[in-house]
Amino acid sequence: MPIHLATMNGHLEVARLLIDHGADVDASDEDGRTPLHGAAGNCEEQTIRLLIDLCCDVNAQSRNGETPLDAVGSDFFASDDLALRERIRQMLRQAGATESSARRAATKIKSDTGGERVGHGDRFV
């Protein structure tokens, strides 16, 4: 979907143009991911702000239960800037976003095991 490509690649003006011409900010792709999932996955801060300002569903769940907050920094080409990732997480939380129950459970396991990774990277599922 064009809106997904624009938002996950940080093409802010293209995203605005598509939205101005009727693109649904909560449209889900075949995996149930919304434009916000893609923008969060690639750490596209300005695009995330645009989608939040347009009242997108910050707690939309993909088919595997992933929320945009879970997706932050999860895509292969995402920035590895930890401060940026934390700013994005805070922005999403301030907009009312929550982690999926699976993510919360994995985070608890990580905490209970003294910080050992139970998954890989930022993903603990």
pLDDT reported for residue 102: 59
Tokens of 120: 């890989």
Dist. CA 111–CA 118, nearest whole Å: 10
pLDDT reported for residue 94: 98
Dist. CA 61–CA 27, nearest whole Å: 12
Residue 8 C-alpha from the chain's centroid: 9
Q: What is the CATH number of domain 2-98?
A: 1.25.40.20
Q: Does the reported pTM lie above 0.85?
A: no
Tokens of 121: 């990277």
Q: Could you tell me the mean pLDDT of each successive run of 10 residues in the chain, 125 residues long? A: 96 98 98 98 97 98 96 92 97 95 52 51 46
Tokens of 61: 């769940």
Q: How far apart are the first and last CA of the chain?
A: 27
pLDDT reported for residue 113: 57
What is the residue extent of each domain of the chain? 2-98
**What angle (nearest 5°) sits at the alpha carbon of residue 118, between those of residues 112 and 123?**
110
